[in-house]
């Protein structure tokens, strides 16, 4: 088993808790305490999925997929929070986000579907009818998540599916066709489909100074915070942007900005290095899995983590548009933490069942 993955995750969780502790100094550490509670809840899920055979999870994935679709439909009828109908709120204190749990269901179900198709021949997934039918299964949850609206999470699904199809050996012509369609679709989406707030985010990404006190405020404060940290940071609880309330939301979307300001470049670069190591190990597991199913699952999980790392850290530095995507294991969020540790557990399950592994049959 790739124990280095657990070490990476543990270090990221610790760094996240330190940053959350500092970011919640002025609020009685409420979110920090909740994160510790969610961590305690998440660990049993990690252990269970780690020791449970991933093939069993894959076989029940159609049921998990169906439950996720029902939850994604139901959440659309809830009261919007910050303009998005993405959460079920229980007694005004506990909330969970079904789109997060849908990641597990979709990765397992799509990997299972592609693996079943490949048993009939390695080129089955490249047949247009098969490929189109399989993508329809992904389009349903993605469109429901876009409806919330939550474009960032929807993009994470797409990265996972692209990774699975790439490992499955889809013919290169489909990759070139997809790239061409993206190039054509982007301007059309911008002018005719995207709502005004999404267009504004893109405009601000290209030029934050056009609305420095409005839509560009958060990204400018984030860049100030990261720059102010210099090499070793301003110290826990001593960041100007973090502690004086200029950085928002500092416990979720911009937690990396808190790390950059108070812990500095060294810790910030270490966080990136830990993610790179984790993703590299996930890709290695996909390469060495005992079967195609394990390879596809590991590749899908790697795709999700690649997107979340690039998008969250990129947007805090002004390199990518802001989408509200959390930083795995670091940002505050119970649903995100539980889901990510479940994904790690499944990844370790695949790892532990390779040749000469601890779960050999």
Note the pLDDT tens digit of each residue in 75-98.
Answer: 999 888 877 888 888 777 778 899
Mean pLDDT of 139-155: 91
Torsion from C-alpha of 326, 332, 338, 340, nearest 10 degrees:
30
Q: Provide DSSP, 27-44.
A: GTTHHHHHHHHHHHHHHH
Q: What value, to the nearest 5°, has the Cα angle with vertex 83 and ends 78 and 88?
A: 30
Whether the per-residue pLDDT at 359 is higher than 70: the answer is no
Give per-residue pLDDT as tens, 1-19. 788 999 999 999 999 999 9
Question: In which band, very low, low, confident or very high, does the pLDDT at 360 lie, cut at 50, 70 and 90?
Answer: very low
pTM above 0.85, yes or no: yes
How high is the pLDDT of residue 356? 53
How high is the pLDDT of residue 355? 65
Question: In which band, very low, low, confident or very high, does the pLDDT at 99 lie, cut at 50, 70 and 90?
Answer: very high
Ramachandran angles phi, psi of 268, nearest 5°: -60, -45
Tell how far CA 258 is from the center of its chain.
Answer: 19
3-state SS class at 148: coil
Residue pair 341/347 in contact (Cβ under 8 Å)? The answer is: no
How high is the pLDDT of residue 272? 97
How high is the pLDDT of residue 361? 45
Q: What percent of the chain stands above pLDDT 90? A: 63
Average pLDDT of the residues of the chain:
90
Whether the per-residue pLDDT at 238 is higher than 90: the answer is yes
How high is the pLDDT of residue 221? 93
How high is the pLDDT of residue 351? 93
Q: Which residue has the higher pLDDT, 295 or 213?
A: 295
- Tokens 């990129």 found at: 314
Domain boundaries, the chain: 3-351
Strands (DSSP E) contained in the chain are 88-90, 94-96
Mean pLDDT of 124-141: 87
Mean pLDDT of 204-219: 80
3-state helix, strand, coil in the chain (%, to 5): 70, 0, 25
How high is the pLDDT of residue 138? 92
């Amino acid at each position: 088993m790739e124990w280095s993955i657990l070490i990476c995750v543990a270090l990221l969780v610790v760094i996240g808790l330190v940053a959350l502790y500092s970011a919640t100094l002025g609020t009685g550490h409420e979110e920090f305490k909740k994160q510790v509670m969610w961590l305690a809840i998440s660990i049993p899920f990690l252990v269970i999925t780690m020791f449970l055979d991933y093939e069993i999870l894959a076989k029940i994935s159609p049921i998990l997929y169906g439950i996720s679709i029902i939850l994604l439909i139901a959440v659309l009828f809830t009261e919007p929070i910050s303009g998005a109908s993405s959460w079920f709120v229980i007694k005004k204190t506990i909330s969970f986000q079904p789109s997060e749990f849908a990641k597990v269901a979709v990765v397992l179900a799509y990997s299972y579907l592609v693996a079943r198709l490949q048993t009939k021949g390695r080129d089955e997934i490249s047949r247009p009818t098969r490929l189109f039918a399989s993508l329809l299964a992904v389009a349903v949850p993605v469109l429901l998540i876009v409806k919330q609206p939550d474009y960032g999470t929807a993009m994470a699904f797409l990265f996972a599916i692209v990774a699975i199809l790439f490992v499955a050996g889809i013919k290169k012509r489909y990759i070139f066709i997809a790239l061409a369609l993206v190039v054509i679709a982007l301007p059309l989406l911008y002018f005719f489909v995207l709502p005004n707030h999404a267009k504004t985010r893109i405009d601000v990404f290209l030029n934050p100074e056009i609305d420095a006190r409005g839509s560009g405020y958060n990204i400018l404060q984030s860049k100030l915070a990261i720059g102010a940290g210099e090499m070793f940071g301003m110290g826990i609880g001593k960041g100007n942007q973090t502690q004086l309330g200029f950085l928002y939301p500092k416990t979720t979307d911009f937690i990396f900005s808190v790390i950059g300001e108070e812990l500095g470049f060294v810790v910030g670069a270490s966080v990136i290095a830990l993610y790179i190591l984790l993703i590299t190990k996930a890709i290695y597991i996909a390469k060495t899995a005992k079967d195609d199913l394990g390879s596809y699952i590991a590749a899908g999980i790697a795709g999700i983590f690649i997107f979340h790392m690039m998008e969250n850290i990129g947007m805090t530095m002004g390199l990518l548009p802001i989408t509200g995507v959390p930083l795995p294991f670091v940002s505050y969020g119970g649903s995100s933490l539980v889901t990510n540790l479940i994904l790690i557990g499944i990844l370790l399950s695949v790892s532990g069942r390779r040749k000469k592994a601890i779960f050999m049959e």
